[in-house]
Every structure is written in structure tokens, then in C-alpha cells.
Amino acid sequence: MPDLFSPVRLGEVDLANRVIMAPMTRDRAGPADEPTDLMVEYYRQRAGAGLIVTEGVQPCPAGKGYWRTPGIHSPAQVSGWARVADAVHAAGGRIAMQLMHVGRAAVRANKAPDAETVAPSAIACPDPIPGPDGVPVPTEMPRALTADEIPGVIADYVLAAQNARAAGIDAVELHCASGYLPMQFLSSNSNLRSDGWGGSVAGRIRFVAETLAALAGAIGPGRVGFRICPGVTFNGMADADPAETYAALLRAVDGLGLAWCHLIHIPNAGFDALDLVRANWSGAVIENCGQTRDSAQALITAGKADAVSFGYAWIANPDLVDRFRMGAALAKADRTTFYTGHGDDARGYTDYPAMKG
């Protein structure tokens, strides 16, 4: 019977265990949004994870919304991620890159001067976002993408995935949660289009379905996963019927042979998201959100999840798998250093020690 420490194969990626490192924004990239030496060390330290899913990485300049988040669209960025991948692999780990286009969830001061803010519809994100100094400010009004432009956005994702693979990254994960561009297409309150990319459920799921199909065609379906969170309201999301929307999405992409569905599992009135996924998706599931070692083990044992991801626990515990295996206490992270905006500041980033002995 499998447990948290059993190997598992997700698509084309073989994992040594089922303890996943969830993607977490850390605001530590260099001035050109390139991975730094500290980022290389940060990920290397956590290579004991069955799979590391990186922080959200913008596939193109328009996809950036937060200060000092990394990209994968310039030679310097690709080179930086190659160093990250090499370090993780040398330590015996596997690493996937989360591709994150924020769409309307953007602050002008955080973006390149010539980078537009775009979305399915010209509706601003109502939630403020931290600027370069860390103080939340109102988001920028987006420009609605034209129907002719949307295939170009999908092409940006494809090139990003190809760049990630060229850098030695094992797989990519399409970020379809947290109110970013793919979720803006999915949600009925942020996608008010009347063309083939909106309106009906079939229209609203089209962008995500076609992007996943394009990624699968470019780098192989076994190296592509996706992350969802049905019902989340972060960054102004309010879908009229998330159960209907996500059931349709899951059914639409189920036949692509993708590597995993990464579920952020939050409470919803009227349906359970994990049950929804299992009823409409036949592939591997990574469960996420508030799990403990014991609850994660129970999910694996019951066959409800193939792997479980942890976020905050990885910040202060670079040896999290070893601590879980030994039943050791977990160190606590300092929330004041979660986001610093400085690529050369190790505090709260690479200075958490592993267990002694």
C-alpha cells in the first residue's frame, strides 16, 4: 500500500516520494527577473521533495504583476533557471515550473514600462496588490484582449514551456487559480465576452483547454500539469457556478494525457472540490491546502490523492520530507520575511537550517 514516502510516476516524471513543494511567491528574483544565486540555493536545499513546483513564473512581460517575480522569456532568465534545475537534479530532486500570467492582477509600477496589462474583459481586479515598496496599491485597468490576440497569448505560454524544458526543468504547471489570467477566462464575473472565448461555460473554459492542449503538443502531455481552485474568491473571482465550470473543464482536458491536476482544496457550499475532481478527471491528483503529515498520509492511503503538496511548511523546513519521515517537530517560519523584494537578502529564505544529526 502506498504512503507519503512511496515513489510515484506523474506523467513522464518519476518522483522519489509523494511530498510535493507547492508554488510560493517569494519576490527574490534579480533586477531582470532572473533567478539569482540565492534562488539556486533555495531550491537546491529543498530537493528532497518528491517534486518542487516553483513559484509562479511569468511567460511574457505582460504576464508580470508582482515585484521581483521571475520570468522565463529572456536568455538571462533561461540561463538562471538552468542553474536552478542543475542544482536540484544534482541533489537528486525533480522540479516543475509553474507558468503564471497574472492578467489583470497587476500593478503598473511592478511591470516593464512597455508591458501591457491584459485580460478577457476590461474589468479591473478589485483587490490591491503590493508595489515595489511592499505597500498594496490599486491595480491597473486591463485592456480586453481581442479574439485575434488570444492565440498569441497561448503561444507565449508554449514558448515559455519550451524555454523551461531547454533549461532542464522536468515539467510545467499551468496556474489556473488565484484569480490570474486563466481563471479570469474561467470565471463568469471576469469574463463578459460574447465571442467564442466567453459567454457560455464552453466558451469560458476554451482558453484553458486550448492552452493545455498547446502545451501538451509542444513538450509532451506527460510533462504538463495544471492547478485549480474551484470557488476561490481571491483577486475578485466570483463564478456563478464553479462546480459546473470546473466539471466541464476537467472533462474537456481529461483525454489529453496530462501529468496531474493540482487542486487547492477549499470549502465550497454545495460540493466538495476533491470529489468533483475525482468524478470528472481520471488522471493523477495532487492535493493541497492545510494538510498535515497525518492527513496527507490518510489521503494517500485512501487513494483520494496521488501526492500532497505543502507550502509554508517548506519555508522553514528545507528537510521537510526527513522531518515527516522521522516524526520530528517542524520549525516555524518568520512571516515578516516571506517577501522581501531583494534578491540578495538570505534572511528568511536560505538561512533556515536542516535538523542536526
pLDDT for residue 123 is more than 70: yes
**Pairing assessment for the beta strands 13-15 and 8-10 based on DSSP bridges:** antiparallel
pLDDT (tens digit per residue) in 124-154: 999 999 999 889 999 999 999 999 999 999 9
Q: Which CATH superfamily is domain 8-337 in?
A: Aldolase class I (3.20.20.70)
Cα distance between residue 264 and residue 130, in whole Å? 23
pLDDT band at 23 (very low <50, low <70, confident <90, very high): very high
Contacts of 303 (CB under 8 A, 6+ apart): none
Distance of alpha carbon 71 from alpha carbon 29, whole angstroms = 9
Q: Model confidence over 108-118: pLDDT tens digits?
A: 999 999 999 99
Give the rounded percent of residues in the chain with a pLDDT score beyond 70: 99
What band does 356 get if pLDDT is binned at 50, 70 and 90?
confident
pLDDT for the residue 342: 61
Average pLDDT of the residues in 3-28: 97
Residue 341 pLDDT grade (very low, low, confident, very high; cuts 50, 70, 90): low
Rounded Cα distance between 173 and 189, Å, is: 25
Instruction: Say how far apart CA 210 and CA 305 lie, in whole Å.
Output: 26
The mean pLDDT value for 72-81 works out to 98
List Cα–Cα distances, 169 to 97, 98, 356, in angstroms: 7, 11, 31
pLDDT of 343 > 70? The answer is no
Active site residue: 157, 180, 246, 339, which one? 180
pLDDT at position 224 is 99
Which residue reads 542553474 in cell numbers?
83
CB 50 within 8 A of CB 14: no
Residue 164 corresponds to which cell in the numbers above?
Answer: 523551461
Specify whether 180 is catalytic: yes
Given this model, what pLDDT does residue 1 score? 80
Phi and psi at residue 51, to the nearest 5°: -150, 130
| pLDDT tens column, 251-262 | 999 999 999 999
Average pLDDT of every residue of the chain: 96
Average pLDDT over residues 226-236: 97
Q: What are 274-318's pLDDT values in tens digits?
A: 999 999 999 999 999 999 999 999 999 999 999 999 999 999 999
Query: Considering the entire predicted model, what is its pTM?
Result: 0.97
- Residue 340, pLDDT score: 75
Distance of alpha carbon 21 from alpha carbon 4, whole angstroms: 13
| Domain range annotation of the chain | 8-337
Res. 3: pLDDT tops 80: yes
Average of per-residue pLDDT across 35-42: 97
